Amino acid sequence: MEQIRCSIKTKLNLSIGSAVLFFLALLLVISYGLFKDSALKSTEALSLALLDGTDKQIDAFFGELERITRSVAEFPSVRGVETERMQLEFLATVRARKRMLRAVYLGTAEGQMYEWGYGPGFVDNAPVFPSDYDPRERPWYKAALTAGDYTITRPYLYASVPAIGITAVIPVRTEGGRFVGVLGVDVMLSDLQQIVDEMDMHHIGKVVLLNKEQVPIVNQFAEGVFDPSVVPSEGDGSFIHTFGGQLFYVASKQNRSSGWTLLLALPYRNIMERPMATIRLMIMLDVMLMLFLFVALGALSTALSFIRYSPS
């Protein structure tokens, strides 16, 4: 008889404990989902705010680059190919913006090249080109002719220095409409990378800037880690992907000045750190509650048995 009572008591305790455990586990699953959604929504709002601020700075950069290029292309010295005046004006333009510009130059329809700037690759502010150099064969010259107006080239290797960069270009014409050549303004990718690095986003995430062909112009990931092919073509949006063995929440925004795509990648682990800490706390409290429940049930069952079967 005593064994039957113990068996019933054990089954009762297990049944109650199992039911409570099930509901606590269900509560944890629901809570995790709610915390996760809340964390992702907060991250989305944060990333959009950060992207918007970064986009405005990049927008200002490209807006200034276009303004400079269009302005210099209208200089009388450029339209008239006045070498001495062009040299002074080109150097003054670069000197005033050495942080963002490397050189300004004009490639004429006859194949002549006039370039001046500062930094590596220049001797007395002039570049040294191969003897067979023809600006009309260069990608920046062809890009301007193809566009027919202002445009920004894809990244390419400069002829005067072993470095990759982009060039803002525009066809130059006289007031009468005669084609003079193509004006170019060089920006090295290392300088653009430095400008983005100075935005101080490293403590939050990593910034990537893709051109219209999805080629990385600025990439704060280690070399070979970021894969641009996984970025949706829509421009604005977000997605989750693994880069270099680490999961990232990536928000994207298309820059209106350049048409390029700005990406901000936030470590997913950091996003979920607070929700997971809350879940761990809830699990600890649930375990303590379960232990307390089993102890209470055991004590209650013992007390009831003692009262029921004690001699009168």
Over the stretch 150-204, which tens digit does the pLDDT of each residue have?
A: 999 988 889 888 888 999 999 999 999 999 999 999 998 888 787 777 776 656 7
For position 12, what pLDDT does the model report? 59
Over the stretch 10-34, which tens digit does the pLDDT of each residue have?
A: 665 666 667 766 776 776 677 667 6
Would you tell me how many other CB atoms lie within 10 Å of the CB of residue 130? 8
For position 141, what pLDDT does the model report? 97
Is residue 68 scored above 90 in pLDDT? yes
All structural domains of the chain with their residue ranges: 36-63+200-271, 74-188
> What is the mean pLDDT of the segment spanning 118-128?
90
Topology of domain 74-188, per CATH? Answer: Beta-Lactamase (3.30.450)
Give the tokens for residue 159: 């002829």
pLDDT band at 126 (very low <50, low <70, confident <90, very high): very high
Percentage of the chain surpassing pLDDT 90? 33
Is residue 145 scored above 90 in pLDDT? yes
Task: Domain 36-63+200-271: state its class.
Answer: alpha beta
Give the tokens for residue 262: 């700005």
Evaluate whether 36-63+200-271 and 74-188 have a shared fold: yes
Over the stretch 215-233, which tens digit does the pLDDT of each residue have?
A: 888 888 888 899 988 888 7
For position 159, what pLDDT does the model report? 87
Residue 108 neighbours by CB under 8 Å, 6+ apart: 81, 114, 135, 180, 181
Model-level pTM greater than 0.75? no
Weakest-pLDDT range from 3-7, 74-78, 137-141: 3-7
For position 215, what pLDDT does the model report? 86
Between 287 and 243, the more confident residue is: 243
Distance (Å, whole) CA 161 – CA 39: 47
Helices (H), 74-110: 76-79, 83-96
Distance (Å, whole) CA 251 – CA 134: 42
pLDDT band at 59 (very low <50, low <70, confident <90, very high): confident
Percentage of the chain surpassing pLDDT 70? 75
> What is the mean pLDDT of the segment spanning 113-119?
94
- Closest alpha carbon to 70 in 155, 156, 144, 146: 144
Between 147 and 38, the more confident residue is: 147
Pairing of strands 237-243, 156-157: unpaired
Distance (Å, whole) CA 93 – CA 104: 8
For position 170, what pLDDT does the model report? 98
Give the tokens for residue 13: 């305790």
pLDDT band at 306 (very low <50, low <70, confident <90, very high): low
Q: How many CA atoms lie within 13 A of 36 on its CB side?
A: 9
Q: How many CA atoms lie within 13 A of 111 on its CB side?
A: 5
Between 156 and 307, the more confident residue is: 156
Cβ contact 108:183 at 8 Å: no
For position 219, what pLDDT does the model report? 87
> What is the mean pLDDT of the segment spanning 77-103?
94
Cβ contact 212:260 at 8 Å: yes
Amino acid at 55: D
Residue 216 neighbours by CB under 8 Å, 6+ apart: 208, 209, 210, 226, 228
Between 81 and 47, the more confident residue is: 81
- Closest alpha carbon to 64 in 56, 74, 52, 53: 56
For position 8, what pLDDT does the model report? 58
Amino acid at 299: A
Distance (Å, whole) CA 86 – CA 97: 17
Cβ contact 167:151 at 8 Å: no
Is residue 293 scored above 80 in pLDDT? no
What does pLDDT average to over the chain?
82
